[in-house]
């Protein structure tokens, strides 16, 4: 799922500095799961922010809410009543959720409270790691299910760079070399022959971000 991390307190404080009354909105899905913006974090952050502002003599009033998922229009709209009572919204949802609110509350400043960090998985409780960069054309079938786009520092598609050493990446010494992982995995699956196929360079400009905003349209689903 989407993984996020709370922004530095100073940055949050700076962004809400002009306001006396805000809505702090969490999100009940991805960011709850990674303990960055669920109800628990909303209440903690709200309390901390109130204290920080109290200390500098500029008391802040905070309304607290945590819709189930901030990135769906219906859930976002649940906040409309509360939003009328405040000057700004601080959102602990990922960047998607923030922008859903932006879309529905055109006159309201909506500020991010977390850094949306990556699409990742839980390694063990409290440790998350990146797994996918939403490149738009998944090649996991060719790489034994290990993603070189997100896990290789250089996003190499056809084997490791010269810096791969003892199974570790030269850019981040504590990280496994993605290509070592790919090799090991294919070898244990008995599919090393897959390495012989050259993976063509990614067409970033067609499948991916470089061509501008991506959009999925399912004509059949449209109502």
Partner 1 sequence: MARIGIFIDTLKGTLPSSFRERIRTTLRDVPEVVFSVEEDEFTSETFERMLKLLEHEGVERVVIVGGSPKLYETTFQKLGFPLPFNPYLFTVANIREQALWSSIDEREASEKAKNAVLKAIRIASSLRPIESQTLPLKPEVLILGGGISGISIALTLARAGIYVFLVERERTLGGKVTELWKFYNQELEAKGWLEQKILELRQNPRISLLAPARLKYLRGHMGRFQATILTDKGEETTISPSAIVVATGYRVERKRGGIYDHKRMVTLSEMEKLLSETNPPFPFFEGKRVETVTYLLDDTNEDIKLDSINALKQSLLLQGSLKCQVAILCKEFKVSSDRMERLYRKARELGVLFFKYEEAPRFSLVNGQIQVEVKDTSILRKEDQWSVSILSDLVVLCETFLPHQETMELSALLRLHLGKRGFFMEDNPQLLRVRSNRRGIFIAGGCRFPQEISETLFEANAVAQEVLALLSKGAYTYDLSVAEVDPKKCALCYTCPRVCPHSAIEVEKYAEKNVYLTHHVPENTKWGAAKVDPASCFGCGICVGECPARAITLRHYPDEFIYIQMGLDG
Partner 2 sequence: MVDFDPKIIAFCCDQSGYPSADMAGSLRLNIPKNVEMVRVPCAGRVEALYLLKALEKGADGVVLFACYEENCQYLRGNLRARGRLSYIHRLMEKIGLEKERIEICYLATNSGVKLVETLQRKTEELKRLGPNPCSEGK
Of the candidates 13, 43, 52, 140, which one interacts with ligand SF4 according to CB under 6 A? 140
Distances (CA, A) of 190 to 2, 96, 194, 195: 32, 40, 9, 11
Question: What whole-number distance in Å separates Cα of residue 114 and Cα of residue 129?
Answer: 17
The residue behind tokens 């993984």 is 3
Using alpha carbons, select from 49, 39, 82, 84 the residue that is nearest to residue 63: 82
**Closest CB 207 distance from partner 1, rounded Å:** 29
Within 78-97, the residues that bind ligand SF4 by CB under 6 A are: 93-94, 96-97
* Binding-site partner at residue 135 among ligand SF4, partner 1, partner 2, none, CB < 5 to 8 Å by type: ligand SF4
In the three-class reduction of DSSP (H, G, I as helix; E, B as strand; rest coil), residue 178 is classed as: helix
The entry of ligand SF4, partner 1, partner 2, none near residue 152 (CB within 5 to 8 angstroms by kind) is none
51 binds partner 2, rule: CB under 8 A: yes
Residues counted in the chain: 223
DSSP code for 168: B
Residues binding partner 2 (CB under 8 A): 8-10, 40, 43-44, 47-52, 54-55
Residues binding ligand SF4 (CB under 6 A): 2, 27, 29-31, 69-71, 93-94, 96-97, 132-135, 138-140, 147, 149-150
């Amino acid at each position: 799922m989407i993984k996020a991390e709370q922004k530095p307190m100073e940055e949050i404080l700076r962004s809400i500095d002009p306001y006396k009354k805000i809505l702090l909105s969490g999100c009940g899905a991805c960011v709850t799961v990674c303990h960055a913006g669920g109800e628990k974090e909303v209440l903690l952050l709200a309390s901390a922010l109130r204290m920080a502002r109290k200390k500098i003599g500029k008391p802040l009033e905070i309304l607290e809410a945590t819709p189930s998922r901030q990135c769906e229009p219906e859930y976002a709209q649940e906040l409309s009543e509360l939003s009328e009572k405040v000057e700004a919204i601080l959102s602990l949802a990922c960047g998607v959720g923030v922008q859903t609110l932006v879309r529905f509350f055109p006159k309201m400043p909506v500020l991010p409270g977390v850094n949306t960090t990556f699409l990742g998985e839980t390694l063990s409780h409290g440790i998350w790691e990146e797994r996918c960069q939403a490149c738009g054309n998944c090649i996991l079938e060719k790489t034994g299910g290990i993603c070189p786009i997100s896990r290789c520092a250089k996003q190499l598609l056809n084997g490791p760079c010269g810096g791969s050493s003892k199974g570790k990446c030269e850019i981040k010494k504590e990280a496994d070399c993605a290509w070592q992982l790919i090799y090991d995995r294919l070898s244990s699956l008995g599919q090393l022959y897959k390495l012989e196929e050259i993976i063509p360079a990614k067409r970033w400009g067609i499948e991916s971000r470089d061509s501008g905003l991506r959009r999925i349209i399912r004509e059949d689903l449209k109502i």
